[in-house]
A and B are shown apart, each in its own frame.
Chain A
Amino acid sequence: MAHDHDHDDHDHDHEHGSELSEMQIRVRALESILTEKGYVEPAALDAIIEAYETKIGPHNGARVVAKAWTDPEFKQALLKDATAAVSTLGHVSRVGDHLVAVENTPERHNMVVCTLCSCYPWEMLGLPPVWYKAAPYRSRAVKDPRGVLADFGVTVPRETEIRVWDSTAETRFLVLPMRPKGTEGWSEEQLAELVTRDSMIGTGFPKTPGAPS
C-alpha cells in the first residue's frame, strides 16, 4: 500500500473517475508543497498509513471483549477504567486515556455515535466505516436508535433500554456485547472470532456459534 498510491484509483470507482482524478491531483499538489517546504517526509506519511493498516483494527477490541467474557476480574477492571485495564494486556495495541467500556445486558443495549463529527475508538476498532461518519447514522442514532438498528437488521427487545452515547468530547466508548450462548468452555481465541466490529459499536451482535460467517 505504502508505495502504490499513484496507481490504484482506477480500480475503485469508474463512475466517479473524473472526481477521483481531480482529488488525486489536488492531494498530490498539497503533499508536494508540504514536502518542498520541509514540513513532512513522504516516507513518514507512508509509515503512518502502514501503521494504521496493520496495527489498529477491530481485532484489538475483539481480544479485549473475549478476555472480559472469560475473566471476571478483568471485566470488572475494564468497566471501572478501560484505559488502565487494556494497558495490562501486552498483546493489544496501546490505548490513550479516556477509553470507557459500556456493558450490554438483557436490561440495557448500548450504542455509540458521534453526531458532531466521527469520534470513534481508533485503537480498539480501527478507522471508522463510512456509514459511521455519514449523515444518516449521525442524524438518526440519537432520535430513532431502534430505526437505525432496523437498518442493520438488528432488533432489540421492546423492554430493553437503549442507551445512546454521543461522543461529544475526547472520551471514547467501547461496547462490551453479551457473550453468545453455546460458547461455554471456549477459549479466548475462539471467542474473539465471534466478536464483530459492529457488536462493539452497538449496531450489531456477536456471531452465533456454528452460524455461517
Chain B
Amino acid sequence: MNGVHDMGGMDGFGKVEAEPNEPMFHAAWEARVMAMVRAMGAAGAFNIDTSRFYREALPPHVYLGSSYYKKWLLGLQDLLVDKGYVAADEVKAGHALAPARPLKRGKFTTDDVERIMVRGKFGRPAPAPAKFKAGDRVRARNIHPPTHTRLPRYVRGHVGVVERDHGCQVFPDSAAIEAGENPQWLYTVVFYAAELWGADADPTVKISIDAFEPYLEPV
C-alpha cells in the first residue's frame, strides 16, 4: 500500500536526533507491548508480515503522530479484533467478555520464550528456477498494490543491477494477507543515486534493496 510508512526519499522530517544513553524502553508499557506482540505472533495469531501490514494501515495522521510502540499497540489491537481473538467491546471494557478463539500453537508460556529469541527461518524450497542472476540489469516494476508490499515507492520504475541472490523466501505480499507463503526468489538489487534521485544526486552514492522476483522485470 502507498502509505506514509514508505518514507524513503521524503523531505521535511528534519534532522536525525540521537538520544545519548538511550534506554531500551522509555516506559514500562512499551516493554509490555513488545512482549505481547512477540508472544501472540509466536502463539500463531499472526505472522510478521500481517503485523507489519496492520501498522502500515493505521491512518496516516495516527501513524505519523504516534510513538513507535504506540503504533505497535494500535496495530496489535486492530489485528486481534479483526481476526476474532479479541472483541471490540472487550478492548473498551478492559476485560474478557467472551470465550477465547483457540490459538494455532496454544497458550504462550514461559517454556516458549527461548525459541522466540532466535529469528524464524524464511528460506523455502524453490518452486521454479531463478529468473535473474548477479550482474543482470533489472527494472523495479511500476506496481502499486493496495495491500502490503516490500517494494518501496522510491525504486519503482527504476533500473538497477542484481548483486546477489538470497535463495527463495516467504513472499510478504502474500503472507501479509494470509494468502500463503508463496515463496519467491529474493535478490539484492543496487541502484545509482542518480537513477533514483536525478542527475544532481551524489555520484558516490549507491542504494540497494532486497527485492522479490515478482517486483522485478528484465531490462
Binding site for B on A (CB under 8 A): 1, 4-9, 12-13, 20, 23-34, 36-41, 43-49, 51-53, 55-56, 93-98, 115-118, 122-123, 126-127, 129-131, 133-146, 148, 151-152, 158-172, 198
Contacts and interface: CB of A to CB of B under 8 A. Distances in A.
Contacts of A145: 202, 205
B80 to A, nearest CB: 8
Given A24-B29, A41-B107, A166-B8, A34 B40 contact: yes
7 contacts: A1-B28, A98-B122, A115-B7, A141-B8, A152-B16, A163-B208, A167-B210
Nearest to B70: A23
B36 interface: yes
A162 B202 contact: yes
Nearest to B8: A115
A137 B16 CA distance: 6
A209 B66 CA distance: 40
A70 to B, nearest CB: 26
A43 to B, nearest CB: 5
Contact of B68 (A130, A152, A172): A130
Contacts of B56: 116-117
A33 B73 contact: no
Interface of B: 5-11, 13-19, 22, 24, 26-29, 31-36, 38-40, 43, 45, 52, 55-56, 64, 68, 70, 73, 76-77, 85-86, 90-91, 94-96, 99-100, 103, 107-110, 112-114, 116-123, 150-152, 154, 166, 169-170, 172, 186, 188, 190, 193, 196-197, 202, 204-212
A44 B40 CA distance: 11
Contacts of B18: 129, 131, 152, 198
B81 to A, nearest CB: 11
A139 B13 contact: yes
B68 A31 contact: no
A212 B181 CA distance: 50
B110 A170 contact: no
B6 A116 contact: yes
B27 A13 contact: yes
Contacts, number: 277
Contact of B120 (A27, A96, A158): A96
B64 A135 contact: yes
Given A39-B43, A44-B108, A130-B19, A95 B119 contact: yes
B206 to A, nearest CB: 5
B39 A40 contact: yes
A36 B119 CA distance: 28
Contact of B86 (A28, A33, A46, A159): A33
A83 to B, nearest CB: 10
A29 B150 contact: no
A156 B191 CA distance: 20
A7 B28 CA distance: 8
B212 to A, nearest CB: 7
Given A48-B38, A98-B166, A163-B206, A168 B150 contact: yes
B117 A55 contact: yes
A139 B10 contact: yes
Contact of A4 (B9, B14, B28, B40): B28
Residue with the highest number of chain A CB atoms closer than 10 Å, among B52, B103, B150: B150
A40 B107 contact: yes
Contacts of B190: 163
Contacts of A1: 28, 31
A40 B123 CA distance: 28
A198 B197 CA distance: 26
Given A30-B76, A93-B117, A165-B208, A39 B85 contact: yes
Nearest to B22: A129
A166 B158 CA distance: 15
A45 B210 contact: no
Contacts of B108: 39-41, 44
A97 B19 contact: no
A22 B80 CA distance: 20
